[in-house]
């Protein structure tokens, strides 16, 4: 069932095979270099790529573009308070802006930050402060053969052991990321959030939630955690965040907008400090690098994100893509997470060694075969990390229909048919920062 219909449409087209091969060559086998016009189904990311509601478009007109004291900011503040339970809000241009504002305020050189799994930009902001980012995922989070209801959880024992080793005084912040994007979008249970909050308490550290996909996480808690089924999604969404001292948020995910983000917190002092840093990097704290109209759209989007049946349909659509791919005998991580399906390219293309980027080969062939854009999250994106060669197919919110997902599964099936023909790739041009190479490097077949 779909509880919405289209009011505006955007034409897309499937370029022919020769045009696709030409585009792939011109892009240096890196789909970040493709023109979006040459992509038919774009599953590169679920970030900022979704469709706004008519209410959000209507809200744009209300945008108050005042430099200071904008009424749009007041409406965002009310939405954050109602939906997430935080009194203080610092708007930012997107999630990483919120990370800069918060971690730039809380973290110092030599510190250690614990997280179930740091998202790339979170890790980079911790590193930018001269601190070390340590991941504490539960065992099996990276193992496709392990199934579980809450594989995104924070391993509290692991976190405690790291803190004992480095000294609790060097751990100013404990973070949990819901859902855990870097662990295949798997959810985190309420019980685990409580236990992680207790750990932060023990360490006398701030407890922060990376709340990008907080509504999707609440859906899984409602569906899977004992005693939660009869509670409203909005109540669960709020309870999850009630244990945190602060959140960082990318409005481009569960804020249902194309741009925007914020940090929110309870502590008055922290708010004052965060605002000072926001002025430096984002803008005056009632606009934070955003137009008033963008803030309006985010205020409406946040409320829509926890209104049934939006999120149930959203997560079901991702699960449907997973089912269609499984039927096509594509090895995926199950159960599927909230925003994306993760394909195990190492298993699909076992003859390509990890140094020759089987994931990136799969990304290229999904494009060549059906103009489907995905992203590699294995040996190409994370050099030196001990990660499986996964490819992520992230589903934009409220954007594609079942026909698009069927096209993706048919494309993957066609790639599978030819899998033995494919060879590995090597990097022929890369930027100086290895951590960012997957955004711009160029590759060729070995």
Contacts with ligand F0G by CB under 6 A lie at 45, 47, 94-96, 119, 121-122, 177, 181, 210, 212, 250, 252, 261
Compare residues 121 and 374 and give the one whose CB is closer to ligand F0G: 121
**What is the full DSSP assignment across 49-101?**
-S---HHHHHHHTT----SSS-HHHHHHHHHHHHHH--SEEEEESSHHHHHHH
Residue nearer to ligand F0G on the CB measure, 115 or 286: 115
Q: How far is the CB of 226 from ligand F0G (least distance, A)?
A: 26
Nearer to ligand F0G, 63 or 261 (CB): 261
Minimum CB separation from ligand F0G for residue 259, in Å? 8
409: which residues sit within 8 A by CB, 6+ positions away? 321, 324, 325, 327, 328, 330
In terms of CB distance, is 373 or 416 closer to ligand F0G? 373
> Exposed e or buried b for every residue in 57-79, given b needs 16+ CB within 10 A?
eebbeebbeeeeebebbebbbeb
Residue 422 Cβ, how far from ligand F0G at the closest point, in Å?
25
Question: What sign results for the dihedral spanned by CA atoms 272, 273, 276, 278?
Answer: negative
HSE on the CB side for 206, CA within 13 Å? 22
Identify which of residues 47 and 379 has a Cβ nearer to ligand F0G in the complex: 47
Report d(CA 184, CA 339) in Å as an integer. 9
**In sequence order, which ranges of 94-181 are alpha helices (DSSP H)?**
95-106, 120-128, 156-166
- Least Å distance, CB 315 to ligand F0G, is 16
- Give the chain's largest Cα–Cα span: 61
Angle at 40 between CA 15 and CA 413, to 5 degrees: 95
Nearer to ligand F0G, 44 or 441 (CB): 44
> Among candidates 143, 174, 172, 142, which has minimal Cα distance to 158?
174
Euclidean distance between CA atoms 71 and 93, whole angstroms: 18
The closest alpha carbon to 116, from 142, 148, 143, 85, belongs to 142
Least distance CB 345 / ligand F0G (angstroms): 18
Q: Please report how close the Cβ of residue 184 comes to ligand F0G at its closest, in angstroms.
A: 12
For the CB of residue 50, give the shortest distance to ligand F0G in the complex, in Å: 12
Q: Tell me whether residue 124 or residue 345 sits nearer to ligand F0G (CB atom).
A: 124
Let me know: does 322 contact 334? Beta carbons within 8 Å: yes
Nearest partner of 177 among 203, 214, 144, judged by Cα: 214
Closer Cβ to ligand F0G, 44 or 427, answer by number: 44
**What is the distance between the alpha carbons of residues 152 and 193, in angstroms, rounded to a whole number?**
11
Nearest-angstrom CA–CA distance, 297 and 308: 19
In whole angstroms, the minimum distance from the beta carbon of 177 to ligand F0G comes to 5
* Nearest approach, Cβ of residue 413 and ligand F0G (Å): 25
Task: Pick the closer one to ligand F0G by CB: 101 or 409.
Answer: 101
Those residues with Cβ within 8 angstroms of residue 323's Cβ, 6 or more apart along the chain or in another chain: none
Nearer to ligand F0G, 76 or 352 (CB): 76
Q: Closest residue (Cβ) to ligand F0G?
A: 95
Residue (34 or 352) nearer to ligand F0G, CB = 34
Q: Are strands 261-265 and 246-250 parallel, antiparallel or unpaired?
A: antiparallel
We find the least distance from the C-beta atom of residue 254 to ligand F0G, in angstroms, to be 11
Residue 140 CB, shortest distance to ligand F0G, in Å, is 20
């Amino acid at each position: 069932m779909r509880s919405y219909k289209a009011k505006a449409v955007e034409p897309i087209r499937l370029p022919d095979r020769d045009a696709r091969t030409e585009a792939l060559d011109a892009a240096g086998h890196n789909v970040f270099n493709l023109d979006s016009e040459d992509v038919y189904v774009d599953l590169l990311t679920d970030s900022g790529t979704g469709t706004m509601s008519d209410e959000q478009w209507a809200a744009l007109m209300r945008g108050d573009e005042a430099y200071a004291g904008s009424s749009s900011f007041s409406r965002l503040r009310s939405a954050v308070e109602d939906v997430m339970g935080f009194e203080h809000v610092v708007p930012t241009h997107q999630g990483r802006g919120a990370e800069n504002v918060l971690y730039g305020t809380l973290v110092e050189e030599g510190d250690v930050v614990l997280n179930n799994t740091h998202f790339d930009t979170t890790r980079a902001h911790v590193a930018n402060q001269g601190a070390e980012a340590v991941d504490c995922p539960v065992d099996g989070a990276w193992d496709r053969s392990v199934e579980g209801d809450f594989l995104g959880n924070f391993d509290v024992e692991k976190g405690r052991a790291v803190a004992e080793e480095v000294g609790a005084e060097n751990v100013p912040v404990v973070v949990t990321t819901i859902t855990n994007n870097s662990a295949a979008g798997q959810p985190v249970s309420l019980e685990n959030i409580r236990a992680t909050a207790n750990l932060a308490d023990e360490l006398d550290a701030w407890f922060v939630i990376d709340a990008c996909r907080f509504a999707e996480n609440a859906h899984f808690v409602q569906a899977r955690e004992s005693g939660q089924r009869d509670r409203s999604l909005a109540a669960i969404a709020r309870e999850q965040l009630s244990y945190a001292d602060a959140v960082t948020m990318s409005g481009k995910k569960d804020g249902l907008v194309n741009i925007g983000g914020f940090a929110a917190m309870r502590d008055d002092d922290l708010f004052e400090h965060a605002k000072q840093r926001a002025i430096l990097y984002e803008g005056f704290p009632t606009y934070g690098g955003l137009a008033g109209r963008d803030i309006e759209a985010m205020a409406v989007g946040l409320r829509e994100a926890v209104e049934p049946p939006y999120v149930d349909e959203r997560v079901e659509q991702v699960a449907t893509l997973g089912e269609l791919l499984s039927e096509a005998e594509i090895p995926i991580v199950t159960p599927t997470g909230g925003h994306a399906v993760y394909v195990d390219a190492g298993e699909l293309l076992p003859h390509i060694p990890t140094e020759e980027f089987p994931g990136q080969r799969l990304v290229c062939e999904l494009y060549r075969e059906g103009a489907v854009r995905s992203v590699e999250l294995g040996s190409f994106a994370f050099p030196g990390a001990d990660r499986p060669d996964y490819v992520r197919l992230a589903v934009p919110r409220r954007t594609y229909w079942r026909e698009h997902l069927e096209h993706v599964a048919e494309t993957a099936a066609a790639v599978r048919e030819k899998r033995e023909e494919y060879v590995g790739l090597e990097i022929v041009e890369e930027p100086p920062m290895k951590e960012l190479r997957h955004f711009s490097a160029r590759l060729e077949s070995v």
